[in-house]
Amino acid sequence: MKVIGLTGGIGSGKSTVSKFLADMGAIIIDADRVGHEAFEPDTDAYREVVETFGREILTPAGEIDRHKLGSIVFANPKARDKLNRIMHPRIHSIVRDLIEEYRRRSVKIVVIDAPLLIEAGWTNLVDEIWVTVAPRHTVLERLTKRTGLTKAESLARIRSQLSHDERIKHADVVIDTNCALDELKAKVQELGQKLEAKDR
C-alpha cells in the first residue's frame, strides 16, 4: 500500500486534486473532517478547546463555532499553537489507526488530505508528500469566490500557514494547480498511474 500525504496552503487547489484522486479509486483520509469529528460535544478535545478558548466560541446549540474559533486562532499565533497542541496529537492517532485498517483491507492507495501535514509533524505517516501550489493572486480569487472572506481575512489565513517555498522543501511531488481543470485532472491522472506502476 502507498500512503500519500497531500498538502498545500488554503486555496492552493488541494481539495480538487484530492477529488481527482478519489475518482481514480484512492481512499481519502480528510484530516479536517477527522478534526471536525474530534470537536464533537462531550469529547475530550471539545472540553479542552472550550476550557481553553471560552464558551463564547459555542453556537446556541452548544457546538463549537469554527468560524468564531478561526477568527481567534488565525489572528493570534499563540492561540493557534494552543489549539494545535490540543488537536494534532488526537488527529494523528485517529489517522494512524485508519491507515492500519486500510492496510489490513489491502487498499492500494491511501491519501491523507492534510493542510498542516508538515507543520504537525505527520510526515512519518506517509510514503510520499505531494504539495499543491498556486500564485497568490489565484489563491485570493479562489478564496473570495469560495468563502466570501475579505481580502484582509484571506491574507491573514495565508500568512498564518507555511509558505509554498517551505512546503516544497519537503515535497516529493509539486502540483501547480494554476491551470484549467481538465489540464489539472490530466496531471493528477498521470501521477496516479505512475504511483500504481510503482506499487506493482
Q: Where are the domains of the chain?
A: 2-193
CB 195 within 8 A of CB 17: no
- What angle do helix axes 151-159 and 136-147 make, rounded to 10 degrees? 120
pTM of the model: 0.87
Q: What is the pLDDT of residue 173?
A: 97
Give the CA radius of gyration of the chain. 17
**pLDDT at 187 exceeding the cut of 70:** yes
Taking the alpha carbons of 99, 102, 104, 108 in that order, is the dihedral positive or negative? Answer: negative
CA triple 92-125-12, angle to 5 deg: 85
The model's confidence at residue 199, banded by pLDDT at 50, 70 and 90, is low
Higher pLDDT, 155 or 130: 130
Name the grid cell of 77.
499565533
CATH among 3.30.365.10, 3.40.50.300, 3.20.20.80, 3.40.50.880 for 2-193 = 3.40.50.300
Higher pLDDT, 39 or 178: 178
**pLDDT at 20 exceeding the cut of 70:** yes
For 36-86, the pLDDT digits (tens) are 888 888 889 999 999 999 999 999 999 999 889 988 988 888 999 999 999
Q: What is the pLDDT of residue 159?
A: 81
3-state secondary structure of 176: strand
